[in-house]
Structure 1
Amino acid sequence: MMILEGNRIKGREMERLVSFLDRMGLKFEEGMDYSVCILDDEGEIVASGSVHENVIKCLAAAPAYRGTGLAAEIVNHLVRYEVERGITHIMVYTKPENEGLFSELGFFTILQAPGILFMENQKRGFGKYLEKLRQETPPKALENHCVNGSVVVNCNPFTLGHDFLIEQALKECDHLHLFLVPGDRGMFSEKERLEMVRIGIRDKNQVILHESSPYVISPATFPVYFFKEQFQGRQANCRLDLELFSDKIAPCLHIGKRFVGEEPICAVTRSYNEEMRRILPRSGIKVTEIERKTYNHVPISASEVRRLVERKELTYIKEMVPDGVYEYIKDSRFIP
């Protein structure tokens, strides 16, 4: 047996890894930070796994080698790699039938939904997250008579569309929990997005901001690698994310409403909103879809603002974001 490893396996090795995963019924996700493969004496891949940030992905072992400990060897190798670069909180999205394997390796189930299992290597990791959410929440917002709402946003960047969504939501609740999704995949980093949100809500005392967390998943970054069809994968991840919110997060914060912007452009987000309207009311959470704010009769979108930033069209950017956010973008690294 031999081990092939690398921060980004490339070329012929990547082709072999993609082909192996395809035979195992998995799809290789682009952008992995690090991958490891175990090869047999003929040089064929018989087991593999990868990590992206703090998430283990694409774990597989050939049928003839299942039960031989190779999958456990891969996971242990990936965990050591993560720890060596300072990451100790590790998560995995996997198939429910892999729960026993990961449990034996020190992982704990956060939530299971049809077709997908979410686990982490900290026994009280999610419990500590819920405690943190309550600590960030003013005591009066936890009183039973309060009407609490929520929005989950990417804000890449914060636009007048986000501002309008928040203003409309505040008309229907006493406090609004704002959850920022994690990740640095877009034009603006997570830190920059957070700063723009803080600027955008600085005059809104009813808004309770919760910084990004790996427990809040963006529709754009759903892990779909263990589903042959992306649509099937997104549906499963929608259910996982929404059930985690409705079963765990919302009861912790007494949230009874969730607000979303109408989605005329992105099919993935529109599908997510549809699942939200189907799943959340089962737990007594009302879902309200708010019509998008427009500029020149076109819905304001963060993607359009990003396009304008790339083209350095400041005049139009100013019409689509709050004044403070405009000044932040204008003074940022994006516009010399």
Structure 2
Amino acid sequence: MEYLNLEEIIIESNDYTKINEVQNFLIKQGLRFDNNIEYTVALYDNNKIIATGSFDGRILKCIAVDEDYKGMGISNKIVSTLINEQYRRGNNHLFVYTKPSNYKMFEDFGFYKIEEVPNKVILLENDSNGIWNFLNRIRERKVEGKVISSVVVNCNPFTLGHRYLIEKASRESDIVHVFVVSEDKSVFTAKVRYQLVEEGLKDLKNVAIHAGEEYIISSATFPSYFIKKLDEAVKIHTLLDIKIFLNYIVPALGINRRYVGEEPSCEVTKTYNDTMKEILPSYNVEVIEVPRICIGNEIISASRVRKLIKENKFLEVKKLIPESTYEFLISPEAKAIINKI
């Protein structure tokens, strides 16, 4: 059967009938429709869906072909459509999380392996120099020393808890490399979060701040649609992120210590911390888990700050955040963000 006779349909996010068809099709392929989708294409043969693919930002995902139609170039058609639409939008640097068995197909489209968890997931990008360019950017802040530390933060927004963790690392290190998660999956945008971290730490002279770009993987971005058990997805996401950190970022900067905040409530973060404590020391990277600081009986957290903002309790918010974060919150620039909380 010639796939040229198939009907290609771009599925709008509000076309719930078509979205439901895609969801059911993916289930039959042992996949799930990922929560974060902004564009979906599907191929139909006589009104029957036989292939689909999507993307979110610059990440291609949820690509599947009916078993009866494999080996006919259908997956190439889907991937080509997705890539062409990305290019049309001005997105030239693309990423794919997929099963390692799909590597050859994406390699033919000019994708290169960054890292993988064997038999589970592989992360690819379509720029052979992509991660090396990232490493060259962060190396500009490289400093020699005995204790080279790192901290990874999201900061949605930057709080006194974040400040406490990084200040402790600063006192105990020759330099601290702070990586701010770059994905825009938070109420506070990546740009604003980076600015708040930068402002809140500018007095600490041995702290270097970096955008994590696509190489510090957040749980909000890591796709779990091809992993059957969600708890397994958390573990695999953690392993992939740690492997990139160990194999690329650690040698680029000479990191030998990583600071993390203790996690009493979030199981995802707790799993991440426990996995780091298990793996990193065998690569000569010490893990320092720092207890959260409290005001009253409650720990300081970004989620608590957001809750108080939503309740318009700014006097209480002020106690939990640096002055620079508070100044932003009462500025005109923050109004759109506050309205979304």
Aligned to 2:64: 60
The alpha carbon displacement at 1:228 in A equals 1.3
> Which blocks of at least 5 consecutive residues in structure 1 are unaligned?
none
Deviation per residue, 1:106-155 (Å, 9 max, x gap)? 111111113010000011111111111102x14xx1x3x43110000000
Question: Quick one: distance in 2 between partners of 1:165 and 1:37?
Answer: 47
Aligned to 1:28: 33
TM-score by length of 1: 0.95
Tell me, what secondary structure is at the counterpart of 2:150? strand
Deviation per residue, 1:188-221 (Å, 9 max, x gap)? 1111111111111010111100023011111333
Question: Quick one: distance in 1 between partners of 2:202 and 2:327?
Answer: 15
The alpha carbon displacement at 1:282 in A equals 2.2
Aligned to 2:230: 230
Indicate yes or no: 2:96 matched with 1:92: yes
Indicate yes or no: 2:169 matched with 1:164: no
Judged with a 3 Å threshold, the aligned counterparts in structure 2 of structure 1 residues 9 and 82 are, in CA distance, closer, same or farther, namely farther
Question: Quick one: distance in 2 between partners of 1:165 and 1:2?
Answer: 55
The alpha carbon displacement at 1:9 in A equals 5.6
Deviation per residue, 1:6-31 (Å, 9 max, x gap)? 35262111111000101111111123
Question: Quick one: distance in 2 between partners of 1:30 and 1:9?
Answer: 14
Alignment of 1:206-217 (within 5 A): 206-217=206-217
Does the 8 A contact of 1:312 with 1:335 survive in 2?
no
Alignment length (residue pairs): 330
The alpha carbon displacement at 1:168 in A equals 1.3
Does the 8 A contact of 1:294 with 1:300 survive in 2?
yes
Question: Quick one: distance in 1 between partners of 2:338 and 2:171?
Answer: 36
> Which blocks of at least 5 consecutive residues in structure 2 are unaligned?
1-5
Judged with a 3 Å threshold, the aligned counterparts in structure 2 of structure 1 residues 281 and 10 are, in CA distance, closer, same or farther, namely farther
The alpha carbon displacement at 1:335 in A equals 5.8
The equivalent position to 2:130 in structure 1, one of 125, 128, 131, is: 125
Aligned to 1:151: 151
Indicate yes or no: 2:113 matched with 1:109: yes
Does the 8 A contact of 1:158 with 1:321 survive in 2?
yes
Indicate yes or no: 2:15 matched with 1:10: yes
Aligned to 1:317: 317
Aligned to 2:288: 288
Tell me, what secondary structure is at the counterpart of 1:269? helix
Question: Quick one: distance in 2 between partners of 1:75 and 1:125?
Answer: 20
Tell me, what secondary structure is at the counterpart of 1:221? coil
Does the 8 A contact of 2:11 with 2:18 survive in 1?
no
Deviation per residue, 1:239-284 (Å, 9 max, x gap)? 0100110111111100001110000121111111111111212211
Does the 8 A contact of 1:260 with 1:288 survive in 2?
yes
% identical equivalent positions? 36
The code of the aligned residue for 2:73 comes to G
Tell me, what secondary structure is at the counterpart of 1:214? helix
Question: Quick one: distance in 2 between partners of 1:129 and 1:282?
Answer: 25
Does the 8 A contact of 2:115 with 2:123 survive in 1?
yes
Aligned to 2:80: 76
The alpha carbon displacement at 1:321 in A equals 0.2
Indicate yes or no: 2:178 matched with 1:174: no
